Chains A and B, each alone.
Chain A
Amino acid sequence: MLRSMDSSTRSSRRAEHKYIARCLLLPWLLLLGACHGGGSIESARIVRMPQPVLDASLSLRPSTQMLAALDRGVPLTLRLRLRTVDAMPALDSSRRIELRYLPLAQQYQLRDLDSGQMRYFARQPQLLAALDRVRLPLDASWAGLAEGTACRLSLALDVNALPAPLRLPALLSSSWRLNPPEHRWTAGS
C-alpha cells in the first residue's frame, strides 16, 4: 500500500512536470503542427432523384490527434458548404456530418446531422472509406439549378462543435485543420 502511494505520488509529480513542460511547449507544438491533418474533395455533383442530393466523394485523412479524440469520445463534425458561383439567385447551403465512436457497440457512427441518417462501421478505416461516397439531401432550391452553373464545395472541421477546452488549441494548431482545397465544378458536366 505504501509502495503504491509512493508510486502514485511519484507518478503524480511526473505527470505534473510533464504538464508544465507541455504548457511551455504546447503553443509551439500547436503552431508547428506536429501531425497535420488533411483531405481532399475528389468529386462532387448534384443529383436530382427527384429531390436534389449532393453526391460527393471525400478523401479524408484526419490527423492522429483527431483520430485519438474520436476514439476517446470526442465527436468530430465536418462542415460541407455548397455554393453557386456568380449565379442568380445565389445558392448557399451547409451540411454537417458527424463522426462518433460508440464504445459499447464498438461501432463508428457516421451521421448526417441535418437529415438524421446514420451508418455504422466496425472500424475506423471503414468509417473513413465510407466518406468516399456521401449523399446529402439538399433543400428544394437546388432542384432548379441550371445546367452549366458553376458550383463550389468546401470542407472543414467545425471547430465550434468541439468541446470548449479543445477550441483554442484547434484554432491555433494545424493538426486540427483539414482544409482541403475547394472543389469547383459545373453543374451538368
Chain B
Amino acid sequence: MDRRQLIRWAFGLLPALALIGLLLAVLLLAGDAEADTSRLGRWWLWILGGAAAAVALVLGAIAARVWELLRARRARTPGARLATRWTIALLLLAVPPVLLVYGFALRFLNTTIDSWFNVRIERGLDDALALGRLWLADETARARADSAALATRVAAAVDLQSSLEQELDASRALQFAVFGTDGTLRAAAAADPRLLLPTPPDSAVLLRVREGTIEASSEPLGDELVVRIVRALPPDRILLTIYPLPAAMQPLARNIEATWNDYQRLAFLRNSLKLTFTLILSTVLLLSLLLAVLAALRVARRQVAPVARLAEATRDIARGNYGLQIATSGDDELGFLTESFNRMSRELDAASASARESQAMTERQRAYLETVLGRLSSGVLTWDDQGVLRTANPAASRILGVELEPHLGQPLAALTQAWPSLTPLVAALRARAAEGVREWREELRLPHAGGSDIAQILMLRGAQLPAGAPGFVAVFDDETVLNQAQREAAWSEVARRLAHEVKNPLTPIQLSAERLRMRLAGKLEPADAQLLEKASSTIVAQVEALKTLVNAFGDYARPPQLKLEPLRLNALIDQVLDLYEHDPRLRILRTLDASDPLVRADAGRVRQLLHNLVKNAIEASGDDPQIELSTTIVDSGGRHEVALRVSDRGSGLPPGFDDTWFEPYRTGKPRGSGLGLAVVRKVADEHGARVAAAQREDGGAVFTVWFVRD
C-alpha cells in the first residue's frame, strides 16, 4: 500500500471513527444524566464539542460522497444512477423505522419520567419531613429547656470551667461553652473531640442573643445532627450548648432528608431531565440517520461497483477493447456474472484475434490478387449475382479505354450509361449470367470508345464463380491489334511475293513488245501494222499499269525505314496541295490550326499518306471534286494530338464500311488499286497515329488521322 492509498484509507476511516466517538459521547452523556452525578463535569463541554465535531465530520463525509455521486450522475458514469437508486431505497428502508423508534422512545421516556413523580409519594415525603421537623422541634425544645436550666445553674458559678465540666459530665450534651459578648471564650467543656475548640457564634448571632433572643438550630456535625442553643448568660456572657439527637433516630432523619432532597431535586430537574434525554435521543437519532446515510452510500457503492465495472467494461468491449478482465466480486450471482463476462471477453478477444488474422490473410490474398490482376495483360471483370461490378483490373480499363474503378460497386448497367460503347460487352456479360452457363467463350466487336469507326475486337472468356462467392468472372483480350497485324503481315507477304514474282517479268515483256513493234513496223500490211501497233501499245500500257501496281505493292510491303523529326504539318499540307492547284476542277478548302502544330514524323511517309487521302477524296468526289483539309489540336484523355481531317463531298462511305476497308485490296472504286487506305493505315501505324473514317452529316466522308503532337 503506497502513501496515497494509506492517506485515502485513513480518510475513509475517519467517518467511522467519528461515528464511534459520537456513540461514546452519547453513551457517556446518557450515563451521566441518568446517574445524576458530576463525574463528567470537567469533560462535559469537551464531550459536547467532540460530538459536534464528529457530527460535522460525518456530515462532511456524507456531503463529499453525495457530491461525488451527483458528479458521477452528471458525467453519466456507469453505475451512478443505480447507486443513487440503491441509496434512496436503502434510506427508505432504514429511516422510517428509526423515526418510528425515535417517536416511541421519546414518548416512552417522557411517560417514564412523569411516572417517577406521584402526588401521594410527594405528600408522603412531605409528611415524613414534617414529622422529622416536629421531632427535631421537640428535641430542640428539650435542648432549650436543658440549656435554660444549665444557664441558671452556672450563672453564679465561681469556677465556671469546673462547673461546666461537672454539668457536662452530668448531662447528655456534647459541648458547653461560655463566651464574652465580644465572642471571646471564657470557658468550655466538650464530650466530643471534634468540639474541643468551640467555634464562637458569628456577630449576627451575638447581636441577636445580646438583644435577648435565644438562637436554637439543628445542624449537622459530621454525619450526625445536633441541636445548637445560644443564649445569654448573665451577666454579659453567652452560653453555647450542643446536644446530640437520639442515635436511633439519626439514620431515619438522614434518610428522610436525603429522600426528600432527591425527590425535590428530581422534580425540579424534571423538565431539564426530559430535555436532556430528548437531546440525547435526538443525538442517537442523528447518529442513526448519519449511520444509515453513510451505510446506504457505502453499501450502494459496494453493491453497484461490480455492475459499474461490468458496464464500463461493456463500453470498452463495444469500443473494440476485447480481452478486458474484471476483478471478481465474490461467489454470488454478481461474481458469476463477472466471471461469465470475463470468459466472454476472453473468447471475444480470441475470436477478434482470429478475425484480425483472417482479415490480414484476406488482405494479403487481396493484395496478391490485385498484384496478379494488375500485372495481367488481359482484362478481368467480376460481378456478383445481382449484376454489381466487383472487380476490374487495370488491364480491363486500359483495353476498354474507360476508368472502371469509380464504378466498382455499381450495377453493370451503369457502365452503359457512362460509356454507350460498352453496351455490347455489358449485354453479353448480363446475357451469359442470365443463361447460367458455367463457362463461355466468344469474340465481341466494340465500337471504339473515342468515337471512331474502328471496331475493337475482344476475345471474351467467362465462368461462374464458386458457390461460396456467387457471381461471375470474365477475362478478355484485345484482339484488334493482333488480327490487324496478322493481316498486315499476310498482305505484306503477298505484296512482297507479287513484287518479286510479277515485277521481274514485266520489263522483258515490255521490251519484247516494243522490239516486236519496231521490227515489224513497215513490214506488215497497214491493217496488220495497225493491229500490231495497237496490241503492242496495249501490252506496254498494261505492263506499265502492272508496274505501277507492283510498285504500290512494293511500297506497302517495304519495311519502314522512318526518319522521324519534328514536322510542321500545316507546311507539308500546303506543299502537297500545291501539286493539286493546277487542276481547275478541284476546289480545295484549307482550315489549318493557327498554332502551326508540330508532329514527330517522317515527312516522306506523311506526304504519301496525304497524297493517298487527297487522291481518295478526289476519286470519291466524281466530276465536281471539292475537298477540305483541316488540322486541329485535340486532347484525347490527356494525350495531345493533332487531328488531320480530309473531307470530300462525294457519295460517302460504302455500305458496310468498317475497319477492314483499311486492309489491302479493299476498294469501292472501279479502278482503285485497293492499297490507298491500306498505305494510309500503314503509315499511321508507323507513326503511332490512329486513323478512322466517318460519314459527314451533309454528305461525303471524312478521314481523320490523329498524330501525336510533338
Q: Which residues of A contact B (CB under 8 A)?
A: 12, 15-16, 19, 22-23, 26, 68-69, 72-74, 102-107, 109, 118-120, 122, 126, 130, 160-169, 171
Contact = CB atoms under 8 A, between A and B. Distances in A.
A123 to B, nearest CB: 11
A104 B225 contact: yes
B133 A165 contact: no
Given A19-B110, A23-B274, A107 B268 contact: no
Interface string B508-543: 000000000000000000000000000000000000
A6 to B, nearest CB: 14
A22 to B, nearest CB: 6
Given A119-B202, A165-B272, A105 B217 contact: yes
A104 B256 contact: yes
27 contacts: A19-B271, A22-B271, A23-B274, A26-B275, A68-B268, A72-B264, A72-B268, A73-B260, A102-B220, A103-B129, A103-B260, A104-B129, A104-B132, A104-B225, A107-B218, A119-B202, A160-B38, A160-B44, A162-B38, A163-B269, A164-B276, A165-B33, A165-B36, A167-B41, A168-B272, A168-B275, A169-B272
**What 4 A-B pairs have minimum CB-CB distances, sorted nearest first?**
A160-B41, A73-B261, A72-B268, A165-B272
B110 A163 contact: no
B79 to A, nearest CB: 44
A105 B218 contact: yes
Given A103-B264, A163-B38, 7 more contacts: A73-B268, A105-B217, A120-B217, A120-B219, A162-B38, A165-B33, A165-B272
A74 B270 CA distance: 13
Interface in B642-698: none
A160 B272 CA distance: 15
A126 B253 CA distance: 25
B38 A15 contact: no
Given A23-B275, A26-B275, A163 B219 contact: no
Interface string B36-55: 11101110110000000000
Given A105-B136, A160-B44, A164-B36, A12 B114 contact: yes
Contacts of A26: 271, 275
B279 interface: yes
B248 interface: no
A105 B219 contact: yes
Taking each of B35, B36, B265, which has the highest tally of chain A beta carbons within 10 Å of its own beta carbon?
A: B265
Interface of B: 29, 32-33, 35-38, 40-42, 44-45, 110, 114, 129, 132-133, 136, 202, 204, 217-220, 225, 253, 256-257, 260-262, 264-265, 267-269, 271-276, 278-279
Contacts of A167: 41, 44
Contact of B38 (A72, A107, A109, A161): A161
Nearest to B135: A104
Contacts of A118: 220
A164 B136 contact: no
Contacts of B204: 126
Nearest to B227: A105
Contacts of B29: 164
Contacts of A161: 38, 41
A22 B270 CA distance: 12
Contacts of A160: 38, 41-42, 44-45
A5 B45 CA distance: 43
A36 B204 CA distance: 30
Contacts of A122: 217
A68 to B, nearest CB: 7
Nearest to A126: B204
Given A23-B274, A160-B42, A103 B261 contact: yes
Contacts of B257: 102-104
Nearest to B37: A164
A73 B265 contact: yes
Contacts of A22: 271
Contacts of B42: 160
A163 B204 CA distance: 33
Given A104-B136, A120-B219, A160-B44, A169 B38 contact: no
Counting chain A CB atoms within 10 Å of each CB, the highest count among B45, B218, B219, B269 belongs to B269
A104 B265 contact: no
A169 to B, nearest CB: 6
Given A103-B260, A104-B129, A105-B217, A164 B278 contact: no
A5 to B, nearest CB: 12
B219 A107 contact: yes
Contact of A166 (B132, B262, B269): B269
Contacts of A74: 265, 268-269
A69 B262 CA distance: 12
A104 B279 CA distance: 35
Contacts of B38: 160-164
Contacts of B275: 23, 26, 165, 168-169
B129 A168 contact: no
Contacts of A164: 29, 32-33, 35-38, 40, 44, 276
A15 B217 CA distance: 38
A126 B261 CA distance: 21
B705 to A, nearest CB: 117
B250 to A, nearest CB: 11
A73 B204 CA distance: 26
Contacts of A107: 217-219
B241 to A, nearest CB: 16
A163 B269 CA distance: 8
B261 to A, nearest CB: 4
A74 to B, nearest CB: 5
Contacts of B269: 74, 163, 165-166
A72 B267 contact: yes
B273 A106 contact: no
Contacts of A102: 220, 257
Contacts of B33: 164-165
A165 B273 contact: yes
Nearest to A170: B272
B110 A16 contact: yes
Contacts of B272: 165-166, 168-169
A133 B114 CA distance: 42
A160 B217 CA distance: 32
A164 B136 CA distance: 33
B244 to A, nearest CB: 14
A142 to B, nearest CB: 24
Given A126-B204, A165-B36, A105 B273 contact: no
A104 B278 CA distance: 34
Contacts of B110: 16, 19
Contacts of A15: 114
B193 to A, nearest CB: 16
Contacts of B114: 12, 15-16
A143 B308 CA distance: 77
A105 B278 contact: no
A19 B279 CA distance: 14
Contact of A72 (B36, B45, B265): B265
